[in-house]
Structure formats: C-alpha cells, structure tokens
Structure 1
Amino acid sequence: MAEFTTILDSLSIAIRLGIHPHEVEPQRVMVSIEMTVVYPEPLREDAIEQVLDYDFVRAGVLALTERKFALQETLCEAIAALCLGDARVRRVRVRTMKTDVYPDAAVGCEISRER
C-alpha cells in the first residue's frame, strides 16, 4: 500500500458566500485542500493514470462558484464530499478563507472528513 497527501493550495475563487446584505455579490475566497490518497501498491510508473489527478478537484470547486452558500461550513462540506467522491481518498481537510471581510483579518473555516 502507498499513501500520499495531494494538496491544492490557495485556489482563489469568486463566490456568493455569506448571510449579510453586503455579501450578495461574489467575493474572493481562498480554498486549500489536503487529501490523503491511498493506492493499493507503490507506484510503478511515472504516469498520471497511476494517481489521483487533482484537476477534477479544481474543476469541481470552480463549478461550485455557480451556487450561493450562506455558510463557509456548508461550502467546506460540499468540497469535502467532492473529494471523497474518489474512492482512493481516505481523508480530506478543507479550509476556506474570506479575505476581504475585514481590513485587518481574513475569516475562515476548516473541516476534516474521512471514510
């Protein structure tokens, strides 16, 4: 068995996220994802077909920008479910950060989910 951590870090998205009137328009959110990916045996080839291709995660997160979320927690849950859709992902950690809510701080949420 082989176990790797696949990381998609600091993906900047514009999404409608929040409960306040000023959050009606899309705002910038930074998304970071760490996935523990398990393979049945050590990798034998240097080929993308041997591993989880993180393009599907990036594309899935970008597709979520079409939705409106009230809470960062539910956005994190949606991203975690997307990642766990690949049976090789054993564990996922998702962090979202609203970067422009306050002039002096970002606000965020982080969750971990596993099979």
Structure 2
Amino acid sequence: MVAALLDPRLADCRRLFLRNYEVYINIGVHEFEKRGEQRVVINVELFVPLKETTPVEDKLHEVVDYDFMRATIAHRVGKGHIHLQETLCDDVAEAMLAHPQVRAVCISTEKPDVYPDCDAVGVEIFRFKEDQA
C-alpha cells in the first residue's frame, strides 16, 4: 500500500484519516460468527485535492468533514449482515469515492477477536475515483 502513496496523482492532495474506529457488527461466514456482533476496527484515509479543500474562511463547509467518514461507515454497517471483510471494504470505498471532493481512498478492516494467536485478521484496499468504472 505504501507504493500507492507515491502515485503522482496524490501529490497535490491532503490526507484525511479516521484511525482505529471500532464498530460492533454482524460479519462473517462461519456459523459462530453469525450468532452475534463482532468487533471490527476500521481505518480510512481520504485523499482530497488541496485546491478544493484548503479553507479560506476557516469554515467547515470548505473541507471534507470527518463526520462524513463515520456516517458513511455507520450507514453501511447498518444495512445488516456482511459475509466478507472484502465486501465491507469495497462498499465503504465506493461510498467514500462518491463524495465530490475525494480523489482516492484507502480502507482497512480488522477483526481482532477471531483468533487467539494473532492480533487481527483483515483486509486493506486502495482506490482512485477515476479507476472506478
């Protein structure tokens, strides 16, 4: 993922992030996972052009509001059971990229409570708006 950050299409961008956002959701394909909610940790990085998101008046409407990230995630997880973390990442990325000021997004999800012998299992994706088709 680090190589994606070197892409010249991001040279004029500001990076916004939401780190370690914990949600409890119904996710998983195994029967034990379908019995209740699991803790999922979500990280989001949005890349927005400086030209469009540099405040002149120090007003919230001039930037991408952090609440947008949380609300977008809440909307998706509120739709019901998700089988795969890949689906969750893809859906959240697509919704984030729908924002007119977002050029690119990096999303990761982790399920920290699945296995006792590791910190977490997870998925990470990076997408450019222009690559969405």
Q: Same fold (TM over 0.5)?
A: yes
Aligned match of 1:93: 106
Aligned match of 1:72: 85
Give unpaired runs (5+ residues) of structure 2.
1-11
- SS of residue in 1 equivalent to 2:103: strand
* Equivalent residues of 1:35, 1:90 under 8 A apart: yes
* Equivalent residues of 1:12, 1:28 under 8 A apart: yes
Aligned match of 2:28: 18
Aligned match of 1:28: 39
- SS of residue in 2 equivalent to 1:34: strand
Superposed displacement of residue 45, structure 1: 2.2
| CA distance in structure 1 between the aligned counterparts of 2:26 and 2:51, rounded to whole angstroms | 39
Moved over 6 A (4+): none
Superposition TM-score, scaled by structure 2 size: 0.80
Q: Which amino acid aligns with 1:60?
A: T
Give unpaired runs (5+ residues) of structure 1.
none
Q: Is 1:84 aligned to residue 97 of structure 2?
A: yes
* Equivalent residues of 1:57, 1:82 under 8 A apart: no
Superposed displacement of residue 82, structure 1: 1.3
Of 60-69 and 34-43, more deviation after overlay is shown by 34-43
Superposition TM-score, scaled by structure 1 size: 0.92
| CA distance in structure 2 between the aligned counterparts of 1:10 and 1:64, rounded to whole angstroms | 17
Size of the aligned set, in residue pairs, is 115
| CA distance in structure 1 between the aligned counterparts of 2:112 and 2:76, rounded to whole angstroms | 18
* RMSD, matched Cα: 1.6
Q: Which amino acid aligns with 1:114?
A: F
- SS of residue in 2 equivalent to 1:37: strand
Q: Which has the higher helix share?
A: 2
Q: Percent identity?
A: 39
| CA distance in structure 2 between the aligned counterparts of 1:3 and 1:110, rounded to whole angstroms | 20
Aligned match of 1:9: 19
Q: Which amino acid aligns with 1:34?
A: E
